[in-house]
Amino acid sequence: AQKITQTQPGMFVQEKEAVTLDCTYDTSDPSYGLFWYKQPSSGEMIFLIYQGSYDQQNATEGRYSLNFQKARKSANLVISASQLGDSAMYFCAMREAPRGAQKLVFGQGTRLTINP
């Protein structure tokens, strides 16, 4: 069963607009962590932001914020004031604790294109 679902294969956004990338997850474990990564065309995965299941506030890192809705099991990434350099693949991932031995489960990814 798919544990992480990203329903948007591709998104096209005008520069300077805000972007929301969707991610829903499925777990019965009360302790888990959610991660977002960016993959530019160069190929390497870049860590963006982390949200723990017990964190009281939504995570923020610069222009990135995570809209965490625990009851809905969603962890959407919000990018404010998008830039051309934000064009990339974006992956949502989850780690279930304590089992899983640090394994991450990834979604299918969303390809974001920022238009000038």
Rounded Cα–Cα distance for residues 88 and 107 (Å): 15
Q: Which of 69, 103, 113, 115 binds other proteins (CB under 8 A)?
A: 103
Of 13, 22, 52, 58, the one binding other proteins by CB under 8 A = 52
Stretch that binds other proteins, among 16-24, 29-37, 62-70, 71-79 (CB under 8 A): 29-37
**Peptide linkage before 98 cis (omega within 30 of 0):** yes
Question: Binding residue for other proteins (CB under 8 A) from 30, 43, 85, 116?
Answer: 43
Beta carbon nearer to other proteins, 44 or 72: 44
Cα–Cα distance measured from residue 42 to residue 88, given in angstroms and rounded to the nearest whole number: 9
Half-sphere exposure of 54 (CA within 13 A, CB side): 5
The stretch near other proteins (CB under 8 A) out of 16-24, 61-69, 70-78, 98-106 is: 98-106
- Shorter beta-carbon distance to other proteins: residue 14 or 31: 31
State how far the Cα of 56 lies from the Cα of 23, in Å rounded to an integer. 19
Our finding on whether 13 is near other proteins (CB under 8 A) is no
Position 59, amino acid = A
d(CA 76, CA 1): 20
Q: Does 44 bind other proteins (CB under 8 A)?
A: yes
